[in-house]
Amino acid sequence: MKIGQVKKWNADRGFGFIGTDGHDVFCHVSALPRGVEALDVGQHVGFEIEISSRTGKPQAVNVRTV
Q: Specify the pTM.
A: 0.91
Beta-bridged to residue 20, according to DSSP, are 23
C-alpha–C-alpha distance, residues 21 and 14, integer Å: 23
| Residue 44, CA distances (Å) to 31, 52, 60 in order | 15, 22, 13
12-36 tens-digit pLDDT: 999 999 999 889 999 999 999 999 9
Mean pLDDT value across the chain: 95
> Residue 27, class by beta-carbon neighbours within 10 Å (0-12 exposed, 13-18 middle, 19+ buried)?
buried
The domain locations on the chain are: 2-65
CATH architecture group of domain 2-65 = Beta Barrel (2.40)
CA proximity to 64, closest of 40, 31, 41: 31
